[in-house]
Chain A
Amino acid sequence: MQKPKNIIEKIWEQHVVHHEDGKPDLLYIDLHLVHEVTSPQAFEGLRMSSRKVRRPDRTFATMDHNVPTRERHVIKDLISKTQMDTLKNNCEEFGVSLADIHHPDNGIVHVIGPELGLTQPGKTIVCGDSHTSTHGAFGALAFGIGTSEVEHVLATQTLWQSKPKTLNVKVNGKLGLGVTAKDLILAIIAKYGVNFGTGYVIEFSGEAIRALSMEERMTVCNMSIEAGARAGLITPDETTFAYLKGRRHVPKDDEFEEAVAKWKFLASDEDAAYDFTLEIAAEEIEPQVTWGTNPGMGLPVSGSVPDPSLLEKPSEREEIKRALDYMGLEAGQPITSIKIDHVFIGSCTNSRLSDLRKAAKVVHGHKVHSSVTAIVVPGSMSIKLAAEKEGLDTVFTEAGFEWRDAGCSMCLAMNDDVIPTGERCASTSNRNFEGRQGNGARTHLVSPEMAAAAAVAGHFVDVRKFAAQEVL
C-alpha cells in the first residue's frame, strides 16, 4: 500500500517537473497573479534578456496597491501613475490579461482571483505578494514570491522550491457567537508567535475550520504568512465546490463534475503524517485586538496591555517596551480603554461581501463616534456593486462611514489613504507594523464586527456586549 499523504504532499507531487536528490524541485506553477508594485523590474528583466512570458494564458494582472479609493481614475501621485502605466504597457507588450482601474473586474488581487474562479483546488498559485496564502482557502498551494521569482515564473512557468515541512493546525469545537475567523487566526498567532510557521506550509483542519464559509477561510489562510508560513491551506469540500460552481474560469457542467471528483482526492489521507501538529480549542477564543507592532502582539478584548517589567528575558522586555512606546499605550491599560481616531474596514483579509454585511449589521441604526473617521473599502469593484444592490452602502454612509472604491488602500497606505502620525486606527487588515498605515500611525488589528463596534463607541468594545445576539 502507498504511504498515506497529506494534501500538501499531494499537490506538491502533482507539480514536480524535475527532481534531483539534494536539490530543490522544479515546480510547475498553474496560476501567476501579477500587480503593479512587484512586477515592473521583472518585466524589465525579461526585456533585457529578450525573453517572453511563457504562458500568458496562466498569467493574470490587476492594479490594486496604488489605486485611489476616491476618484479612482485621477491618480495625482505621478510615481504611482508611472507604476500603473508601466503595468499596462507591460501587459500589452507581453500579452497578459489585465483588469486595470477601468475594468469592472478590478480589485485586490487576492479578492478577484477567487471571485473570478481563477483560484481552484489543487493548483499551484504564486504572486509577488505575501498574502497570496489567501488562495489556500480553496485547497491550492499558494504562496508569495519576490520580484526575481516573478520574473522566473513569467519566463519559465516554474520555480525551484525545496519541499516544505508540513504543519497541521487543528481547530476543534465551535467558535462562539460573535467570534470570527479573524479572531481565530489572530488568537493562534498571539498564542504561538509570528514565526511558528516559518519553513512550514500549514493545513488548517478540524471542526471549526470545516464550519467556516469560503470567505472566512480566506481570512484565515490570508494571515498564515503572519505566522511565518508562506502558505496555509484548507482541504476543499462541499462548501468549496458550491462557491466555485458557475464562476467564470471554473469548468462548466460535466467538466465541473469531473473536476469536483478530482478535487475530492486532494483531501489528506486518514493516517497522513505531518512534521508537526497543533490542536486548538475554538471555544476558548474571544474577540481579539492587537496592541503592539506585530500581529503576534494580540489579546482578547477582555485583556489588558502587557507590563514589560514583569518579563524576565531582557530582549522581550525591550521589544514590548518599544512597542508600547510606539503605540502610545500604558502597561496594564485595559484594551477597552483604548480610544481610536480611525476605522478601516477593508484589505485582502476582510473586504469581501460577507465581511461588509457583518460590519453593516453591527453599525445599523448607530452613528460613528464624533471623534472617529471611518472608511469602508470593498475588496473589488464587483463587491462594491453587490453591496450597493443590498443597500449596505446606505447603512454605512447613514452611520457616518465613507463608502469608497476598491483597492488595498489603508492596509498599507500606498495610495492617499494614510493615517496621520500618532493617530490610532482599528483596522480589519493584516499587519500592525510600525508605519504600516502611515509614518507614526498606530494600528490595531480586529475583525470587521469589532471594527464596526469600535467606530460607534470611539474605543474598543466587546462586540458581544455591544450588539444584540441576532446581529452577530
Chain B
Amino acid sequence: MEPFQIHKGLVYPLNRSNVDTDQIIPKQFLKRIERQGFGQFLFYHWRFDDNGHPRKDFSLNEEKYNGASILLGGENFGCGSSREHAPWAVQDFGFKVIIAPSYADIFKNNCGKNGILAIQVSEEKVHELMKRAENDQYHLTVDLAKQLVFDDTGFEVSFDIPAYSKEMLLNGLDEIGVTLNYEDKISQYELSVGA
C-alpha cells in the first residue's frame, strides 16, 4: 500500500446520498481476477449511455473535473455490497481522497486497506464544499498527519480518524505483515480454545 501523507487536488462534487456500490462499479465488471484496471468502469451507467457514449448530464464527464482526485460525496456513501472493486475503481480512476458526511462501514474499511483516505466531516461542511466545487474548479489540500482539510482562501476543517488507521495509512503498512508478528498469540489462542 502507498503511504498517504499530504495530498492537494481538484475536487469533484457528487451531490447524491446513498451512492451504492452497484453504482460505483456495476456487477458486469466484477468478473476480472486482477486488482487493476477498474477505473474505466467507475460509475459506468451514470457516465455512459447504452451505446457507451459519455452522458452529457453526468457532471463527472465535464471537462472542468478532468484530473479530479478528491471525491466529495453525500450521506451513506458506498452502501451495499462488500465488493472491494468499488474502492479499486475509485482509486484507479484517480481519486485519492473521499470526503462525505457518512459512509457504509464495509466500504470505508475497504478504502483504508487500499490507501484511500475516506474523511468524514459534517453535512454542513460538505454542503459548503459542494457549492464551491460545483461553481468552479476547486482545490483542497488534505494533511493526514495534522488531520486537516483546507483550501487557499482560508477554509479549514479538521477530521477524526482512529489512530490505528492513521498509522497504517501514513506508513503504507502491509497489515498482514503486521499481524504475522502476532503469530505466537494466534497459536496460543487456538490452543486455549481447542481450535
Contact = CB atoms under 8 A, between A and B. Distances in A.
Interface of A: 14, 17-18, 22-24, 26, 28, 30, 37-38, 40-41, 44-45, 49, 51, 54, 58, 65-66, 77, 79-80, 82-83, 86, 128-130, 132, 144-149, 151-152, 155-158, 160, 162, 194-195, 198-199, 225, 228, 230, 294, 315, 319, 322, 412-414, 421, 431, 433-436, 439-440
Contact of A439 (B26, B79, B163, B183): B26
Interface in B92-108: 102-106
Contacts of B76: 194-195, 198, 228
Given A23-B164, A148-B110, A414-B31, A315 B179 contact: no
B105 A38 contact: no
Given A130-B82, A413-B27, A435-B23, A26 B185 contact: yes
A194 B79 contact: yes
Nearest to B75: A195
Given A30-B195, A144-B82, 15 more contacts: A23-B164, A26-B186, A40-B33, A41-B35, A82-B33, A144-B106, A145-B109, A148-B113, A149-B109, A152-B176, A198-B102, A319-B18, A414-B27, A435-B22, A435-B23
A228 B105 contact: yes
Most buried by B among A17, A26, A86: A17
A225 B104 CA distance: 9
B189 interface: yes
Closest 10 pairs between A and B when the two form their complex, measured CB to CB:
A148-B113, A146-B84, A146-B110, A40-B33, A144-B82, A147-B84, A79-B31, A433-B22, A130-B82, A195-B76
Contact of A130 (B26, B106, B180, B186): B106
B152 interface: no
A18 B187 CA distance: 12
B17 interface: yes
Given A44-B33, A155-B180, A28 B189 contact: yes
B23 A434 contact: yes
Interface string B163-195: 110000000000110011011011001100101
Given A66-B31, A433-B22, A435-B26, A294 B106 contact: no
Contact of A51 (B20, B84, B87, B176): B176
Contacts of B26: 435, 439
Given A17-B182, A18-B182, A431 B80 contact: yes
B195 A294 contact: no
Contacts of A83: 31-33
Given A30-B195, A151-B176, A435-B22, A80 B110 contact: no
24 contacts: A18-B182, A22-B164, A37-B31, A83-B31, A83-B33, A128-B84, A130-B106, A146-B83, A146-B84, A146-B113, A147-B110, A148-B84, A148-B114, A149-B109, A152-B179, A155-B176, A155-B180, A198-B102, A319-B16, A433-B22, A434-B23, A435-B22, A436-B27, A439-B26
Interface string B48-86: 001000000000000000000000001110011111100
Given A38-B84, A230-B105, A158 B186 contact: yes
Nearest to B86: A146
B82 A228 contact: no
A198 B110 contact: no
B79 A294 contact: yes
B186 A23 contact: no
A82 B74 CA distance: 36
Most buried by A among B20, B27, B80, B102: B27
Contacts of A28: 186, 189-190, 193, 195
A421 B33 CA distance: 27
Contacts of A225: 106
B164 A435 contact: no
B164 A24 contact: yes
B106 A433 contact: no
Contacts of B84: 38, 41, 128, 146-148
Given A130-B81, A149-B109, A433-B23, A17 B45 contact: no
Nearest to A20: B164
Nearest to A162: B162
B34 interface: yes
Contacts of A144: 81-82, 106
A228 B109 CA distance: 13
B35 A17 contact: no
Given A37-B31, A66-B31, A319-B18, A433 B186 contact: no
Contacts of B153: none
B30 interface: yes
Contact of B22 (A129, A147, A434): A434
Contacts of A228: 76, 79, 104-105
A129 B82 contact: yes
Contact of B32 (A79, A413, A436): A79
A226 to B, nearest CB: 8
B35 A37 contact: no
Given A40-B33, A151-B176, A230 B106 contact: yes
Contacts of B193: 14, 28
A146 B50 CA distance: 29
B39 to A, nearest CB: 15
Given A40-B33, A82-B33, A146 B182 contact: no
B135 interface: no
Contacts of B18: 194-195, 294, 319
A414 B105 contact: no
A24 B30 CA distance: 30
A146 B106 contact: yes
Contact of B105 (A40, A65, A199): A199
Contacts of B83: 37-38, 146
B37 to A, nearest CB: 12
